[in-house]
Amino acid sequence: MMEHAITHPAPAPTLRTRVRRNALQIGIFVVLLLLWGVFIVAAPRTFLAPEIYASFMATVPFFGIVALPLTMVVIAGDIDLSFPSIMAVGVVAFVLVFDSTANVWLAFAACIGSGFAVGIINGLIVVRLGIPPLIATIGTQFFWRGVILIVTNGRSEVLVEPKNSPLGQMLVGKIGDYVPMQMVWYILIGIAIWALLNRHRFGAHTYLTGDNVNSARLMGVNVDRTRILLFALVGAAAAFAGLVASLHVTNFFTTLGEGYLLTTLASIFLGGTSAFGGVGSILGTFIATFIIGSINAGIVAIGLTGFWTQLIYGLIITVSVTMHTVVRRRVG
Amino acid sequence: MSHFLELRGIKKSFGEVQSLRGVTMTVDRGEVIGLLGDNGAGKSTLIKIITGYYQPDEGEILFNGQRVEHLTVPRARQLGVETVYQERALADQQSLWRNIFIGRELTTRFGLMDIQRMRAETQRLMQDHMGFTSTAVTPDSPVQTFSGGEKQGVAIVRALYFQAELIILDEPTMGLALSETGKLLEFVEQVRSAGKSVIFIDHNIFHVYEVADRIVLLDRGRVAGEFRTSDLTLNDLLDKMRRVAKTGSLD
């Protein structure tokens, strides 16, 4: 059945269909260039200096690393709002294990493992108990934040020793005194998640689940396992991102992650992922994180107050979700 | 020789509702079975048990005389059961090739999807079986742009590609144009002459009578009667169906 040679090679898509199919990614890239142009013209001293780009590369991965797997969750038709708390859970697990064993590698494993486990719990609540993911993960977000406050007694933690360890240098060191290591990890994770979504069966099942969960089930896709694993993936990525963000500032704050909810979601929707599931792009999210990440700096550099940031994030989420719905209605 | 498929005393309830109350039936190779029954007779539940989507509360399922415990969708497909669902079971926003290979994506040695092969196979199926001649449709086209008949073509070709032993057609003529219906009945004939089995479910008794070797009449979760189409005329069949609908039994 599958042994015979390829006798009917499918024609390569023409340039036009390629453009049409990737319209969203091309669109988002154009938006990035336009915005960049505006910032350079309006604030040349800031945006023509290399420091600002070093700063973007250092800070965008903090939420971008979560935005990538969360894009897959959204493609599967789910959502996870608890990741800010999972970022902190991971670092607390890291600190607890490091304090008792003084081994950064064990602590690192505990960090990722705890994030994964919390993600599995999210997945089980959503999938096995059938609670809408929006509600379930708002609940778990508060729950885990509460656990962190109780465990740490609300105190922050200094991370000088882990930061100076080989692990710390691997995660947040600098290459050539300019490129932060977290940017390298962000790119590597981006490639891995892209391959998982577009080149692995797991990714195919993610698309099918979000597109039509009923069809996917009828055709034997293990929808439940796919969804639960996606929540676990976000959990592990959130813990990793939390550790990177904390090591970068050499400090763990119990509020870790709280500022990232809006930026992460804005990146995903701006990147062309449908809020209804079934459609989405890792590259789109990747590019969008840099748009979102530069808006704050851009606004301040242009001379507006930081108060504008919130308004613009909100506008971006609303407009991009609306645009997607309108486009979808016209096609469908 | 044992039957290709045998069901023994299949029962299935959903909460208070008893959907199937002990269904026993067989399907032989090269046989076309027409499954008839009113709404709520349990036709859909029965086929979803055969396809492994639901697990029965009681009863046995045998393939080639071998009892199969805990039949799942992947297991049923492995055993050669393919279904063309009434709702087509397609993912509309996904490309044609992704729909053909739903749940059974081809992979390379490295565990990654063999996209090139899946696109090529889809191209071959399109040319040889689906009758897509327009160059506007490629393996990468999303199926939401297809007509009802084309979508059904996709669902049927998908069933054929994986070398089905038993094809279940659930309300296949619904929403089809006349010429498309004719093609579908021809297709059922072809499947039979290839020695494969078909379970044909349709509201249109005339279609079922035309192609079926045997008719299984389902009523309120039970088999109310079984007939060879060669033994009775269409009018007899209509009579019997009326009687069953009224009284719940043939006598």
Question: What DSSP assignment string belongs to B21-65?
Answer: EEEEEEE-TT-EEEEEE-TTSSHHHHHHHHTTSS--SEEEEEETT
Residues B213, B200 contacting (CB under 8 angstroms): no
Q: Which ipTM score applies to this complex?
A: 0.88
Q: List the pLDDT tens digit at each of the 332 positions of chain A.
A: 444 556 677 777 777 777 777 777 788 888 889 889 989 998 899 899 999 999 999 999 999 999 999 999 999 999 999 999 999 999 999 999 999 999 999 999 999 999 999 999 999 999 999 999 999 999 999 999 999 999 999 999 999 999 999 999 999 999 988 999 999 999 999 999 999 999 999 999 999 999 999 999 999 999 999 999 999 999 999 999 999 999 999 999 999 999 899 999 999 999 989 889 999 999 999 999 999 999 888 888 888 887 888 888 888 888 887 877 777 666 54
A205 touches chain B (CB under 8 A): yes
Dihedral of alpha carbons B47, B50, B55, B58, sign: positive
Residues of B in contact with A8 (CB under 8 A): 120-121, 123-124, 127
Residues of chain B within CATH 3.40.50.300 domain(s) are 1-80+165-251
What residues have CB less than 8 Å from B174, skipping those under 6 apart? B86, B202, B203
Angle at alpha carbon of residue B56, lines to B52 and B60, rounded to 5°: 90
As a whole number of angstroms, the distance between CA A79 and CA B3 comes to 47
List the single residue in A9, A17, A218 with the smallest CB-CB distance to B85. A218
Place of tokens 């002459």: B193
What residues have CB less than 8 Å from B135, skipping those under 6 apart? none
Helix then strand then coil, in percent of chain B rounded to 5, is 35, 25, 35
pLDDT tens, position by position, B184-210: 888 888 888 888 999 999 878 888 898
List the single residue in A199, A216, A279 with the smallest CB-CB distance to B112. A199
Quick one: which H or E segment has residue B206? helix B205-211
Count of A–B CB contacts within 8 Å?
Answer: 105
| Stretch 220-259 of chain A: residues touching chain B, C-beta under 8 Å | 220-221
How far the first Cα of chain A sits from its last, in Å, is 34
As a whole number of angstroms, the distance between CA A285 and CA B59 comes to 50
User: Dihedral of the CA atoms B198, B204, B208, B211 (nearest 10)?
Assistant: -90
Residues of A in contact with B105 (CB under 8 A): 201, 204
What residues have CB less than 8 Å from B30, skipping those under 6 apart? B192, B193, B195, B196, B197
Cβ burial, residue A138 (10 Å; 0-12/13-18/19+): middle
What residues have CB less than 8 Å from B201, skipping those under 6 apart? B34, B35, B36, B43, B47, B168, B169, B170, B171
Please state which CATH number belongs to domain B1-80+165-251: 3.40.50.300
* DSSP SS3 for A38: helix
Kind of pairing, strands B166-170 and B197-201?
parallel
Q: What is the CB neighbour count within 10 angstroms for residue A99? A: 10
Q: What is the pLDDT of residue A2?
A: 43
Q: In chain B, which residues have pLDDT < 70?
A: 1, 131, 133-135, 250-251
pLDDT tens, position by position, B148-181: 878 888 888 888 888 889 999 998 887 777 877 8
